[in-house]
Amino acid sequence: MARRKEPEVNQKEEMFLALQLLEKEKGIPVDFMIDKIKKAIQTACKNNYENENVEIEIDLHTGQFDVYLMKEVKEVVENPNKEIQLNKARERRVLAKEGDMIGTKLDTRQFGRVAAQTARNIIRQGIRDNERGQMIQEFQSKQQEIVSGLVERIDPRSGAISLRIGKAEVVLPKSEQIGNENVKENDYIQVYVVDVKETEKGPKAIISRTHPDLVKRMFEKEVPEIFDGTVEIKAISREAGSRTKMAVLSHNPDVDAVGACIGARGTRVAEIVDELCGEKIDIIEYNEDPKVFVAAALSPAHVVSVEVIEEDQSSCRVTVPDNQLSLAIGNKGQNARLAAKLTGWKIDIKPESGFYGEEAK
């Protein structure tokens, strides 16, 4: 039975059509890919003939290419891989003389496979590079913004969440998750794109659910007055999953900054609290006067007075009613800690009576 001959030319045509399609769809120049293929054939000649001096002619329209192994014309041949005898050279070129370079056409069936394999590798690499470039471009445009991602997988050991964001898969580490939230596969969650870095393994988007700016961006989306600049978020401090304090300022005397953020019957802030798994959010009015600002930051505690101790050190002493002391300090010092982060002031809290319970003298 006769052995069936492979449709060599058609395969070549398909290969070059694929390269042209890749250029059109992915923006990878055909010339760049052809250069890679030529180098692969050159390497194959070096391995097979110990001669990398080749000329390659490629016709992109027909998909046909020819490979010529270049040999130096010599009277006496010492290395047949690199040299050709003068008489044989003159059979191909009548006026050939010693020292000329004559091309010996090679059987391209073998190199056709080399070229096809190289083309496949280039196409795969080109697609990977293109997707990497698209991912960088996509995430750089969303840097310091909120994106929504589909939970594809949760690592049972580390707790890391693999999110599908557009065409990219991004990992949300356990350390950047809200501690008390119960996330399941196929859920959609919002994350904050902190940064985008180029690594050896490709681009890496650093995302977070604990970053204070996640809350800031949520309010910008939820509150039109913040989006249009009427209300400004001046400062924000956060302990993710537990409590956030946010200072806001209105640039319009007719607009209540705190009321705009809370919304009618608390609807605006409620949307954000739900997304953050019940995290408490204190919204206070910003004030240039540090005494007023510090007093407001210690909300929900009532403050009797604020005394600046060292202005250059941003240090102050706050007096609160005895029955408000624990509220001002907060559970494990959280309220005072967040107020200090929000205002940038060191806050020393004392009761109005001057006595700190049984321990005080």
CB atoms within 10 A of CB 102: 20
Pick the last residue of a domain from 267, 286, 305: 286
- Region 219-240 average pLDDT: 95
Statement to judge: residues 66 and 114 lie in one domain: yes
- Total of domains in the chain: 4
Query: If pLDDT is split at 50, 70 and 90, which confidence band does 122 have?
Result: low
Does a structural domain hold residue 143?
no
pLDDT over threshold 60, residue 4: no
pLDDT, greater one: 136 or 316: 316
Q: Is 229 within a domain?
A: yes
Q: Look at residue 142 and tell me if it is in a domain.
A: no
User: In this structure, are 185 and 217 located in the same domain?
Assistant: no
pLDDT digits (tens, 9 = 90+) for 12-71: 566 677 777 767 766 677 777 777 777 777 777 777 777 778 888 877 776 677 888 888
Q: What percent of the chain clears pLDDT 70, i.e. is strictly above it?
A: 82
pLDDT for residue 238 is more than 90: yes
pLDDT at 254 over 70: yes
Domain membership of residue 343 as a residue range: 294-361
- CA 129/CA 134 separation, integer angstroms: 9
CA dist 94 and 359 (Å) reads 113
- Specify if 139 maps to a domain: no
Domain finish residue from 224, 259, 286: 286
pLDDT above 60 (res 267): yes
286 and 235 in contact (C-beta within 8 Å)? Answer: yes
Residue 233: both structure tokens together:
């978020």
DSSP result, 319-346: EE-GGGHHHHH-GGGHHHHHHHHHH--E
Task: Please report, for the domain that includes residue 100, its CATH number.
Answer: 3.30.1480.10
pLDDT tens digits, 310-335: 888 899 999 999 999 999 999 999 99
Look up the pTM and report it: 0.63
Residue at 136 is within a domain = no
- Which CATH number do you get for residue 216? 3.30.300.20
Asked if the model's pLDDT at residue 10 lies above 60, the reply is: no
If asked whether residues 201 and 171 sit together in one domain, one would say yes
Residues 282 and 301 reside in one and the same domain: no
259 lies in the same domain as 320: no
What percent of the chain is modeled with pLDDT above 90?
46
pLDDT value, residue 63: 66
Which pLDDT belongs to residue 188? 92
Same domain, 88 and 25: yes
Residue 168 lies in a domain: yes
Same domain, 316 and 342: yes
Cis peptide before 300 (omega within 30 of 0): yes
Domain end marker among 252, 286, 320: 286
Whether residue 215 is found in the same domain as residue 280: yes
